[in-house]
Structure 1
């Protein structure tokens, strides 16, 4: 029992370190269990909502609640492990060992161990309890800063791509001066945003589920609009453009695919069923592409003379990210946004 309790404690500490300190996109089984359990409850409640706004309001609580419950799960396992160790060293009955373990973990000081070994275990448990709580508290500002940086770009994109936002509106805005050559600053900022998404949303995956302050916004919908805009420019626009477009497109494809692979392969997550089969960033049809093509022509954007060839090129480029964006949009229950 002593070894079993120690194993539970060491596994819990390892899970906490891998979840918050280790700078890798590590999938932690304990964290997955907590987040999946909380997610199941919230999705059952959200399914009762008749409107998207109601479901969005419920799901906005999911990530914060899951993040708060995670250290509670850590502390519960630590208490369980030390209960077994206290019993193994002869501190008394199971009931007394549980009380002693909980008392030590929360540093209440109302109970004392009966032996030197028991005292050592009691002090070590108090140390781990304080360490785990400090770990979460210290990382909350980091999570909030990453969330704020992400949402700043999402809000700025809405100003440029209109409301409702679309890739066509964004290209029209980028071409407002009659040229796409003076947009280096915009595309460079979006490249940096994609790189940050790649790093933060795989090392701290709970960030993906933090919803935007405005119900109609979503970071994955914004990513889809930026990628669609880049794909449209590369495939259909026949005029000089910023060299940053291709780099930002590549950064975006890498970012959304890495986040997608993390949730689909490592975290074994499944898309939400709260969205219908035609909602949220579905593959645009050839008709929708031609509508965007005509809209860009009407706004004096120079396009390739062969729309069929442009469609084939666009469809090929979109194949690099459409599966990832659609999966994440359904997983995160993103709002229905017209990307093209």
Structure 2
């Protein structure tokens, strides 16, 4: 009876080990090779576990600069932790398989598995199936490491392109950055109708954000080289600039500016929906009671309108109507913007 129970236990352990190995390799492939955005639960658990530790450390910091320095290490550490967890799970899965094949005690099978995974070659097996499995484990160990290493250049190229645009936006929007300043810069030629090339570059930036930050979600958490910069704040600034243009100025909307605004709303909302189940499947405009008029925001809006008037731009005479239009457009992206700013611990920034 005990013999049958032991045999059944070996089958269960062997099948479980095989499933664990398959699930781990599948997670690695879906994370880096599958050309579409997909939530990989195993990777999420790794990122959340590492993030919990960094959040605890950041709470002990007494200034934003210190928190920023701490969180700057989060994405690189989480990325390095991925192959460590992958290989640990593969080793655990093969340990169960070797034990199911009768290679020896759990301790011996664990050492055999680690030895095979790291291709040390100092342990031998007792049968042909186990010997074949050691070669497959060694292959998977190299594959998992190579998979991450081969994608590191892709990740850092996407990061570099993103941050180049963030820096250029900051140079044009002034210090502190504001949508009114950026609009005045766009009006340098005396017209806001001849900036299609600039709006097109920003549209391309939003398109790349949408693709790269959902297919490689760890990119979302890579922080800018300078503490005061953030891709989330830069994206919000572009959307606020377009919004201020459309709602406050008495000028025709350039088609390219409208495309850029739409691309920005789509990009932020899709990244938002990737990270938050509460976001729903499609972005939803806030109801009037969910988006109350805040006096501070209205004061900022009026201040920026005054700055546009001082710059000689044709501001709409009906400020109340302009404010209502501004709020309607802002509802298309404000939920995503606020969520991502909190998620990435972005620098504090006013809405305009």
Q: TM-score range by the shorter chain?
A: over 0.9
Alignment-derived partner of residue 190 in structure 2: 178
Contact 1:63 1:206 (8 Å CA) reproduced: yes
Secondary structure at 2:276's aligned position in 1? Answer: helix
Which of the numbers 124, 139, 157 marks the counterpart of 2:151?
139
Give a deviation string over 1:269-323, Cα, whole Å, max 9, x none. Answer: xxxxxxxxxxxxx996111111111111011111111111110001000000000
1:41 corresponds to 2:53:
yes
Contact 1:237 1:302 (8 Å CA) reproduced: yes
The Cα of 1:337 is off from its aligned counterpart by: 2.1
Which of the numbers 173, 190, 202 marks the counterpart of 1:161?
173
The Cα of 1:339 is off from its aligned counterpart by: 3.8
Alignment-derived partner of residue 9 in structure 1: 21
1:210 corresponds to 2:241:
no
Which of the numbers 3, 25, 32 marks the counterpart of 1:20?
32
- Aligned pair count? 327
Query: Counterparts of 1:1-340 in structure 2 under 5 Å?
Result: 1-240=13-252, 242-265=254-277, 285-340=297-352
Contact 1:18 1:26 (8 Å CA) reproduced: yes
How far apart in 1 are the matches of 2:177 and 2:147?
39
TM-score normalised by structure 2 residue count: 0.91
Of Structure 1 and Structure 2, the greater helix share is in 2
Gaps of 5+ in 2: 1-12, 281-293
Contact 2:297 2:351 (8 Å CA) reproduced: no
TM-score normalised by structure 1 residue count: 0.94
Pick the structure with greater CA Rg: 2
How far apart in 2 are the matches of 1:110 and 1:253?
57
Contact 1:165 1:337 (8 Å CA) reproduced: no
Across the aligned residues of Structure 1 and Structure 2, the Cα RMSD in angstroms comes to 1.6
Which stretches of structure 1, 4 residues or more, deviate above 2 A after TM superposition? 239-243
The Cα of 1:23 is off from its aligned counterpart by: 1.3
